[in-house]
Chain A
Amino acid sequence: MIAVELRGVRKSFGTQRVLDDIDLSVPAGSVFALLGPNGAGKTTVVNILATLVAPDSGTASVGGYDVRTARDSAKGVLSLTGQSVAVDEVLTGSENLIMVSRLWGLSRRESRLRARALLEQFDLADAARRQVKTYSGGMRRRLDLALSLIRRPEVLFLDEPTTGLDTRSRRSLWAQIRDLRSAGTTIFLTTQYLEEAEQLADRVAVLAGGRIVADGTPAELKSQVGEDVVEIRSADDELLGAVATDGSVDGLHRAITQLAEVAQPDATVSLRSPSLEDVFLSLTGPALQQKEVQS
């Protein structure tokens, strides 16, 4: 079953074309990561799917509901945690949760119970009665996510959910995402952190210049770059250059020859598997690896 689908979606703001013929489909129950440089249009994709922005053309559906023609049904199965934290600063954490629970149709009593359970689950019980403006960034993010999980959504959109979080908060959010996935929720996330996509995603797509330039499992995308990456680093571990190879002896030989041009006397060479970062840079930037070698 397909949980999220985009077909031929285009969107311009004024004269600026942000999305140009986007096709994507995400199977139910999986974690999907949309990668792309700043300004690539990741947030616009999420906003279209979350019914906040209408596409100029093409169709988008969530949980099988078209976001334009069956907007309310689509809203009923999705939750959104946007890029900026969507909480009421003047209210307390508990009041925020009760408010959104009521908006989902829970009774006052059910709302209180649900709020209490979520505060417990997200490690906010001690701060329940404090106004959110006294919360730290990590606490706000946790409350924000809790607000998206009043009832378990079929599809959860997370737009750069870990931006600005410290390592510990990031890890705990990743754990929450994995739990949700095992409970059957489809997760559609955008991120700038390739490690995050590497850790969480079943499938990855790269958005650049308003188009999907790659779409597949992390392993598939990595194999497009090449078999191995040869890196050369200076004595103080600064990256001097990196070249992808096809894994053959000849290929390795060519790579070493190329890298010799930038070598410093005490530089060291190492061989590693390609990372999503290599995929990302080779797709979204001017060929960085070549540039580094030539500079």
Chain B
Amino acid sequence: MTALSPRRRVAVGVSELTFIERSLRRSVRNVDALLMAIMLPVLVMFLFTFVFGGSIDPSGNYVNYVVPGIILLCAGFGASSTAVDVAGDMTTGIIDRFRSLPIPATAVLTGHVVASLLRNLVATGVVVVVALAVGFRPTGGPGDWLAAISVVALYILAITYLFAAIGLASSSPEAASGYGFILLFLPYLSSAFVEVSTLPSWLQPIAQYQPVTPTIEAIRSLLMGTSMGNNAVIAVGWCVLILVIAATWGAWLFRRKAGHR
């Protein structure tokens, strides 16, 4: 047989690219999950605009309020599927093969996360198009849109990386999807669907300072022209903090945790 040892130095980024390619192939082949990832956000948006919207805001403008919240809620759905994917890798032998290769400890997770980010951005795009069709009338210019998309992408990246690490830490795909539930709950305790001032006073500080509210307010400000304040700074700060913690935790888990079957 051809002897290809000793090993060459692997160029920076090749492992990550290889894993992104792997995860994208897996996404495209899992048609049911891909359809679900795109349909669910649209259905949730219909639910909030047509079913709940009338009673929350009888003026009929609720769609203009709720779209940023829907986008973040759905980012959570998309991210939680990453936890299940990563936990799935742990239950097949393949994670041990990857762990025995001389590759960066974060590469496998990065592959899952970037593929999930791309899936999620496609879903976000579909939600925005459908929202525009049912009366969403944003006022932002192209620069505002670009900034809003960047904030959305950063938020998705951070929360997805966190879910990927949770997937690594969980004992099974079922457990991974269970842990994700808590994080999926966060948008309901924010300014996503109702204004923070309408919440009971003990809940208001939690809603005000958790990561979802500043992120939503930053997107709202960019797209709808509401006041920005320091929401963008706080949102970016939260996302970067979550990303750093998740990446560090994920790399540590990858080095330490053997697959379990």
A90 to B29, CA, bound (A): 7
Minimum CB–CB distance from A83 to chain B (whole Å) comes to 7
A80–B100 touching, CB < 8 Å: yes
Give A47-76 as 1s and 0s: 1 = Cβ < 8 Å from B's Cβ atoms.
Answer: 100111110000000000000000010011
Q: Give residues 70-93 of B contacting A (CB, 8 Å).
A: 92-93
Minimum CB–CB distance from A81 to chain B (whole Å) comes to 9
Contact of B101 among A83, A90, A100, A183 (CB under 8 A): A100
Q: Give residues 2-22 of A contacting B (CB, 8 Å).
A: none
A149–B1 touching, CB < 8 Å: yes
A105–B93 touching, CB < 8 Å: no
A147 contact set on B, CB distance < 8 A: 97
B5–A85 touching, CB < 8 Å: no
Contact of B30 among A79, A83, A85, A90 (CB under 8 A): A90
Q: Any chain A CB within 8 A of the CB of B25?
A: yes
Considering the complex, give the chain B residue whose CB is closest to the CB of A184: B3
* Known contacts A102-B14, A114-B2, A151-B5; A88/B96 CB under 8 A: no
A150 to B10, CA, bound (A): 14
A222 to B7, CA, bound (A): 40
A104 to B18, CA, bound (A): 11
A105 contact set on B, CB distance < 8 A: 7-11, 14
B2 contact set on A, CB distance < 8 A: 114, 117, 152
| Main SS class of interface, B | loop
A47 to B260, CA, bound (A): 12
Interface centre among A52, A103, A104, A121 (most CB of B within 10 A): A103
Give B20-38 as 1s and 0s: 1 = Cβ < 8 Å from A's Cβ atoms.
Answer: 0110011001100000000
Q: Chain A, interface size: which category?
A: 35 or more
A75–B101 touching, CB < 8 Å: yes
A88 contact set on B, CB distance < 8 A: 22, 26, 94
B93–A84 touching, CB < 8 Å: yes
B22–A80 touching, CB < 8 Å: no
Contact of B258 among A47, A95, A117, A179 (CB under 8 A): A47
A114 to B15, CA, bound (A): 18
B256 contact set on A, CB distance < 8 A: 54
Q: Any chain A CB within 8 A of the CB of B200?
A: no
Q: Any chain A CB within 8 A of the CB of B102?
A: yes
Considering the complex, give the chain A residue whose CB is closest to the CB of B30: A90
Q: Give residues 125-157 of A contacting B (CB, 8 Å).
A: 131, 147, 149-154
A78 to B96, CA, bound (A): 13
B18–A50 touching, CB < 8 Å: no
A86 to B4, CA, bound (A): 21
B100–A179 touching, CB < 8 Å: no
- Knowing that A76-B7, A102-B14, A153-B5 are A-B contacts, what are 15 other residue pairs whose CB atoms are under 8 Å apart, sorted by A's residue number? A47-B258, A72-B102, A75-B100, A75-B101, A79-B100, A82-B93, A84-B92, A87-B94, A91-B25, A99-B21, A103-B101, A105-B8, A114-B4, A152-B3, A154-B5
Contact surface of B with A, Cβ cutoff 8 Å = 1-11, 14-15, 17-18, 21-22, 25-26, 29-30, 92-94, 96-103, 256, 258, 261
- A to B CB contacts below 8 Å, 11 in the list: A52-B100, A76-B7, A82-B96, A82-B97, A84-B93, A86-B94, A103-B18, A104-B8, A105-B10, A149-B1, A152-B3
